Structure 1
Amino acid sequence: MSFRWPIRVYYEDTDAGGVVYHASYLRFFERARTEFLRSLGFEQDDLRTRYGILFAVRSMQIDYVKAARFNEMLWVSAEVEQLKSASLSFKQLAMRQDDQLVCEARVRVVCLVAETFRPTAIPDFLLQRLKNDL
């Protein structure tokens, strides 16, 4: 199942030519993953303070397909492709409203102990919820 989140391209997201700056997609994809977790009932600050965990990007492969421009509306998706005990991998797309692909990424996120930044297992309650959403 793919989660989609709308994002408008603001001036601050673009380069001098009005095209989305490549690093802006990282923020767009991060927002979609955060909203995906929120849609499942989990707030990242609550996971940190209440359960002592956080998620960090371990790796990312990104492909810039077409230029998005200032003031366009995009759909940014977050789809879990692989779920392991301490990590999950997402396929993420940035698409125009007409479903034209702009950017695609594969993102691996790991679960960490908030205090030590060491890998840890994803808590069962969250792991089960993620499995139910696959």
Structure 2
Amino acid sequence: MQSSYISNMEEWKKGFSFSVPVQVRFSETDMFGHMNNTVPITYFEYARIEFLKHLGFMGKWMHGDSEAIPVVADIQCDYVKQVYFEEQLNIYVKIESIGNSSLDIHYLAMNKKEEMCFTGRGTIVQMNRVTGKSIRWNESQLERVEA
């Protein structure tokens, strides 16, 4: 299965260098023991935040006096393989493209056997917390994401 946002699977996979480990908890499974379909979105959030911290973005956004905040504009998940209780995954995250005030972020979940379990993508927008209007990336931010 290949999603519309992936033109060449092998090239796409090579673009990931940042990941976080997760283990499927009992509370994240259904009565059949496999991961509930809503859980990948939570894993994407965790990986995205860790990635943005790694880039140095979260510190500024988390200050109460910062006018800028990140907002998820859309999110998508494509399920490839069933995942079960206690399975260990690596959730990979990368920036696929940069807009004036947005980032298109892609995700890849791999199990310990290096099998793809699910993929995803989503857009975050840097917005003004008071006006709700988008805020362009500044030079410092662009340097961090382009590195």
Pairing 1:1-134 to 2, within 5 Å after superposition: 1-2=15-16, 3-43=18-58, 46-49=60-63, 50-132=65-147
Q: Which runs of 5+ in 2 are unaligned?
A: 1-14
State the identity %.
27
Q: Which runs of 5+ in 1 are unaligned?
A: none
CA distance in 2, matches of 1:75, 1:112: 29
Root-mean-square deviation (CA), in Å? 1.5
Aligned residues of 1:32 and 1:77 also touching (Cα < 8 A):
yes
Q: Deviations over 1:70-120 (max 9, x none)?
A: 111100011111011200101101110221011110111111112232211
Residue-pair matches, total = 131
> Rg larger in 1 or in 2?
2
CA distance in 2, matches of 1:35, 1:14: 24
Aligned amino acid, residue 103 of structure 1: F
SS of 2:85's equivalent in the other structure is: coil
Tell me by how many angstroms 1:130 deviates. 0.5
Q: TM-score by structure 1 length?
A: 0.89
CA distance in 2, matches of 1:31, 1:120: 23
Aligned amino acid, residue 69 of structure 2: L
SS of 2:49's equivalent in the other structure is: helix
Aligned amino acid, residue 124 of structure 1: E
Aligned residues of 2:24 and 2:87 also touching (Cα < 8 A):
yes
SS of 2:50's equivalent in the other structure is: helix
Tell me by how many angstroms 1:7 deviates. 0.6
Deviation >6 Å, runs of 4+: none
Aligned residues of 2:108 and 2:119 also touching (Cα < 8 A):
yes
